[in-house]
Amino acid sequence: ELLAVDRVSVLSIVSRVSLLSALQLMKLPANNRAEHWVRNIILSTHQDDLSELKTMNDSHMDYYCMTKLIYEDIRSETIRRDILDHFRKEAAVQNAHMEMGTRKSKLRMQKAWRKILSDVDDTLTSSGGSYPAGVDKRYPKKVVYPGVIGLYREMDLGINGPEKMPSNTGNLVFLSARPHLYKDISEKHNFAKFKKLREREGVDGRGG
């Protein structure tokens, strides 16, 4: 209560992200006030700070992302709706800045704030034609397609982004039709693969 409500106004964005992550890890149902704390942290964060919070929350290289927080961890429809309404209102303010070409909008153009959604099989890596993963037999199974890492990197940075990949991006989200298994086994396995790709070739798959 002290950090999430009484002192939230003095917390940095990094501290707010850390607090949200701690609440997720301890499981929100463990405390009947936890969902209210999550709502207060998010509703106390505005405009570009909110974009930074959402991006950083998706950059942990694990299953605990903003989407899971809102659509799975939060059980209250009222709290979920409050958070989503807040996102829409803050996005409208940001869009107004962009349309008017304000100083804030020019600074925002330098940020790598975008979400790239990508499949894995026959998109990042070849399935080798192994059904049901995919149909592409041109490359051996699990081979990373030539040039795809560079494509992801350039899309992540954008035309006005920085020359080098920022340390806190979480923009690339890999989608999967594979079912969620007990204790996040499937997700942890995939994130381990993405971590190796990031270390070896620079692809940033921390977004999901």
Predicted confidence at residue 133, as pLDDT, reads: 82
**Cβ partners under 8 Å of residue 14, min gap 6:** 56
Predicted confidence at residue 203, as pLDDT, reads: 57
Q: Where are the alpha helices (DSSP H) in 26-143?
A: 34-43, 47-57, 66-68, 77-100, 103-108
Strand-pairing partners, residue 118, are 174
* Contact call for residues 41 and 16 (beta carbons, < 8 A): yes
pTM: 0.74
User: Confidence class of residue 179 from pLDDT cuts 50, 70 and 90?
Assistant: low
Please state the rounded mean pLDDT for residues 151-164.
Answer: 69
More confident residue, 176 or 38: 38
82-94 pLDDT, tens digit each: 999 999 999 999 9
- CA–CA separation, 180 and 202 (whole Å): 27
Predicted confidence at residue 83, as pLDDT, reads: 98
Look over the chain and give the mean of its residue pLDDT values, rounded to a whole number.
83
